[in-house]
Amino acid sequence: MTSPAGPVGLFDSGVGGLTVVRALRREYPSQRILYLADQAHVPYGDRPAEEIRGFALAITQFLISVGSRAVVMACNISSATALETARARHWPTPVIGVIEAAVRAALEATHDGTPRIGVLATRGTVASGAYPRLLHRLCPEAVVTQVPCPDLVPLIESGALNGATIQARCRGYLRPLAEAGCTTIILGCTHYPLLLPVFEEEAHSIFETEPVFVDPAQAMVDELRHMTVLDQSSPTGEMRLLTTGDPEIFERQVRRLLGITDAVVGKAQWEAGKVRAVSPVEAAS
């Protein structure tokens, strides 16, 4: 049951959604956070849309069942496939997605002339058409170029945030956006902000004018603030991070990739299509 004192629940296939946790934490350090990384199924990007939709709805159900006051789909492909159903199913508990926030932030960042917007995303998000659809609804004259980046999530989950392989992949994925003259580039997978320094460096050598990269995390925090679901009153904001994968590996990833050292890390598991927290669970409810 949703609790007014409950944590904000967030999820992703892996460590990517922690880029949203990081932004939330920066502004609201006392907000309790419950995060689920579905690493048993990472990467989501090449799976069928129906399968991802099932994962996203079951995880949303789990986060609400343990008392989350709001759920953040810190995952583009989940937002593209499951957001509307989750909202309808769990109303009035707020459920927010990443795509609306990213599109708003991209249009705000684009000033002169015809917006030429690039979208870097997983194959599934690109195939869903969610970004061009929403961009064209809000800005019919926008020219949108999408590039699927299937290699990045596995590399990031394996701990690679720099080096020759990552640089070459990022350069290759940016090239079609440079050729299309994009001035704004949406990082349309929550893992990708972890590669922002590499993207910026590679863009420097292949774009005539350096593009603006949009990390939707801040826009999502702004959306939560407008919904007045954030808690600034409690002195300590417990951060509880669960994984359906290996908690020891996850704890190391969290520390190394995001510099998060003050979280309680635990295990969740799938059982007959549902998520169940194995440990630790009590304090999250």
Question: What residues are annotated to the active site?
Answer: 75, 189
Report the DSSP beta bridge partners of residue 143.
116
Q: Counting contacts by CB under 6 A, is residue 12 touching ligand DGL?
A: yes
**E strand or H helix at 162:** none
Q: How far is the CB of 268 from ligand DGL (least distance, A)?
A: 16
Exactly one of 76, 93, 110, 145 binds ligand DGL (CB under 6 A); that residue is 76
Q: Does 211 contact ligand DGL by CB under 6 A?
A: no
Residues 27-56 that bind ligand DGL (CB under 6 A): 42-45
Query: Is 19 one of the binding residues for ligand DGL (CB under 6 A)?
Result: no
Q: Which residues inside 127-186 make contact with ligand DGL, applying CB under 6 A?
A: 153
Q: Are the C-beta atoms of residues 121 and 153 closer than 8 Å to each other?
A: no
Q: Is 69 an interacting residue with respect to ligand DGL (CB under 6 A)?
A: no
Q: CB nearer to ligand DGL: give 125 or 145.
A: 125
Tokens of 10: 């967030």
In the list 60, 81, 110, 122, the residue contacting ligand DGL (rule: CB under 6 A) is 122
- Torsion sign over Cα 158, 162, 164, 170: positive
Q: Which two tokens stand for residue 280?
A: 């630790």
- Note whether 223 binds ligand DGL by CB under 6 A: no
Q: Does 217 bind ligand DGL (CB under 6 A)?
A: no
Binding-site member from 13, 68, 81, 128 for ligand DGL (CB under 6 A): 13
Residue 77 interacts with ligand DGL (CB under 6 A): yes or no: yes
Choices 1-9, 108-116, 188-196, 220-228 (CB under 6 A): range interacting with ligand DGL: 188-196
Pick between residue 17 and residue 237 the one whose CB is nearest to ligand DGL: 17
What angle, rounded to 10 degrees, do the helices at 99-109 and 130-138 form? 50
The minimum distance between CB 69 and ligand DGL, in angstroms, equals: 22
Residue whose entry in the numeric block shows the structure tokens 């080096």: 163
Q: Looking at beta carbons, which residue is closest to ligand DGL?
A: 45
**Minimum distance of ligand DGL from residue 248's CB (angstroms):** 21
- Classify each residue of 20-46 as buried b or exposed e, where b means 16 or more C-beta atoms within 10 Å of its C-beta: bbbbbbeebeebbbbbbbbbebbbbbe
Q: How many CB atoms lie within 10 A of CB 251?
A: 18
Minimum CB separation from ligand DGL for residue 72, in Å? 12
Torsion of CA 202, 206, 212, 218, to 10 degrees: -20
| Beta carbons within 8 Å of 81's beta carbon, 6+ residues apart | 49, 50, 52, 53, 56, 124, 128
According to DSSP, the residues that pair with 213 across neighbouring strands are 185
Pick between residue 67 and residue 148 the one whose CB is nearest to ligand DGL.
148
| Cβ proximity to ligand DGL, 31 vs 190, nearer residue | 190
Among 52, 216, 244, 39, smallest CA distance to 134 is for 216
CA quadruple 125, 130, 132, 138: dihedral sign: negative
- Interface residues with ligand DGL (CB under 6 A) are 12-14, 16, 42-45, 75-77, 122, 125, 153, 189-191
